[in-house]
Amino acid sequence: MALEAMKKVAEAESKAAALKAEAEGEARKRIAEANRAGANLVKAAGAEAEQKAKELMAEAEKAAEKKAAEMKAETEAKCRALQAEARKHLSDAARLIAERVVSG
């Protein structure tokens, strides 16, 4: 009888060890899967952030080009106004120079 009880205990211990090993293996598998999933999420987030950065950069470049074009147009308009104003005084300046050359 004692021998049979010892066999049952040994069987139970063996089954427990097998179950423990199986559970540990399953746990390692799940941890590995979770790590892969986490890495994939990080990679996807990085790619998404990179794409967003590219979009923001393109928008900023477009806005800068628009602002530069506006500034150029404004500067050209000011230059034309200054040139027009200078042309109005050109004959007066020429007369003044001529007077100084003649009198001087």
- Alpha-carbon span 44 to 34, nearest angstrom: 15
Per-residue pLDDT of 53-100, as tens digits, reads 999 999 999 999 999 999 999 999 999 999 999 998 888 888 888 888
Per DSSP, the chain holds a count of helices (H) and strands (E) of 2, 0
pTM over 0.85: no
Q: Determine the Cα–Cα distance for residues 32 and 90; give it in Å rounded to an integer.
A: 85
User: For residues 99 and 93, what is the distance between their CA atoms, to the nearest angstrom?
Assistant: 10
Longest dimension (CA), the chain: 146
